[in-house]
Amino acid sequence: MRKGILTLLLLVSLTPMAMAQKYACVNTDYILKSIPDYAAAQRRLDKYVADWQKELQDKQSELDAMRASYEQESYLLPDNLKRRRQEELKEKEQELKALQRQRFGAEGDLDKKRAELLKPVQDRVYNAIERMAHEKNYAFVFDKSASATLLFSNKKYDISDDVLELLGYKPGATAEPPKGSEEKASKRPTNPEMRQDRDKNRDNPLPLGR
């Protein structure tokens, strides 16, 4: 969908009427990484993810221990106790899957925390871009960040630094903490089912558009 929209805009830009319109581009990745509030919010989100992963790994270890114990003792157990232990294992597995969905599934805790922590800063950036587009009378503002599809852009049309200045930040500065000052939590769960849920959201910040 995004590629189709960009292609349409590029085709429109070739028409005689569009030739008189003004265009600009921004790099939202660069802008966000230059904002301390966003870097701090990302570190807080990483901490939540690390805690949730630890919680799930502990639950998985409990389940593995229960399963190993059952396999060792099952040949000594009467049928009624075997069925009871099997039901307990099944319940533990269902609890673990439910917790995985709660933490990393669609509209789960990760999505909610991302919206709570990151979206306010992203909205500020979007509003600044929109304001500058109106003030400078730009017909289109393209995003040339890694998540966008923009084959070429001339640096003189890049207004990323202007947007940062409008937000009150110094262009070229980085909001990343010094290396080794804080351990960054991994965003990729180790459990296979967790990975399947988590990969849907990995490296996919909330859109700036509305």
In a domain, 2, yes or no: no
pLDDT at 138 over 50: yes
Q: What is the Cα 203 distance to its own chain's centre?
A: 5
- pLDDT category at 15 given cuts 50, 70, 90 is low
pLDDT score of 202: 43
In a domain, 11, yes or no: no
The number of folded domains in the chain is 1
Task: Look over the chain and give the mean of its residue pLDDT values, rounded to a whole number.
Answer: 77
Worst-scoring range by mean pLDDT, 10-19, 25-34, 49-58, 169-178? 10-19
- pLDDT category at 193 given cuts 50, 70, 90 is very low
Q: Which domain holds residue 148?
A: 20-198
pTM, full prediction? 0.64
In a domain, 4, yes or no: no
pLDDT score of 159: 80
In a domain, 42, yes or no: yes
In a domain, 204, yes or no: no
pLDDT score of 106: 94
- Identify which of 209, 193, 208 has the alpha carbon closest to the alpha carbon of residue 38: 208
Burial of 43 (0-12, 13-18, 19+ CB in 10 A): middle
Please calculate the CA angle 53-58-63 and round it to the nearest 5 degrees.
125
pLDDT at 67 over 60: yes
In a domain, 43, yes or no: yes
- The length of the chain, given as a count of residues: 210
In a domain, 13, yes or no: no
> What's the average model confidence in pLDDT over 172-195?
48
pLDDT score of 24: 87
